[in-house]
Amino acid sequence: MCIILTPRRLITEEIPSVVNEFRLVAKDAIEAGFDGVEIHGAHGYLIDQFIKDQVNDRIDNYGGSLQNRCRFALEVVKVVAKEIGDSNPEALGLYLANCLSKCGILFCHMVEPRMITAWEKEESSQSLLPMRKAFNGTFISAGGYDREDGNKAVMKGCTDLVAYGRLFLANPDLPNRFELNAPLNKYNRDTFYTSDPIVGYTDYPFLEDSI
């Protein structure tokens, strides 16, 4: 028997207890032996629902203005950081890369923190270089790369491979387009992670279809 629950808006008084749940889960993770935790604030999950004005139609202190919509996310970050926050994330990443290499792991895939916003990126392609040097297997970087800066990152030895997400979604023949240096389809962010209507996943044209 499958029970389907209809989502509902949290009442204001419930929010502190939800924030505290993030703190407790982070605390439990560390006690269980994890080195750190990642706060997931994207892809339509709860934090993302508070942040995005297309979804958040609240009229309390957690809705409306940009500051209000970010309030829940910042409250979660503050309690988690206070509970288990790491004081040296670079040292943590380097230690993990070394340990993974000793385990004989074939590849390590990390995200380069290059994105300021969804459309603006900063040049920080060296930030993963210490981890890349510490790991003996194949090192894969992601982080808003295009054809040009992806090639540069590989040529400079910053990474072995570059992973593409949004560009691959909008261009099912991305390797062929990169090889020909052909124009790319623009991805439509409004169709990401939607179930109705089902568009934006298999309906982007191939190169031969768009000529």
Check: CB of residue 135 under 8 Å from CB of residue 103.
no
Q: Which one of 45, 164, 193, 201 is the catalytic residue?
A: 45
CA–CA gap between residue 106 and residue 73 (Å, rounded): 35
Residue 192 CA: distances (Å) to CA of 88, 114, 129, 210: 34, 21, 31, 22
Phi then psi dihedrals of residue 32, to 5 deg: -80, -10
Q: Is 45 a catalytic residue?
A: yes
Tell me which residue has tokens 């919509």: 69
Q: Which residues contact 78 (CB under 8 A, 6 or more apart)?
A: none
CB atoms within 10 A of CB 124: 12
Residues annotated catalytic, as ranges: 45
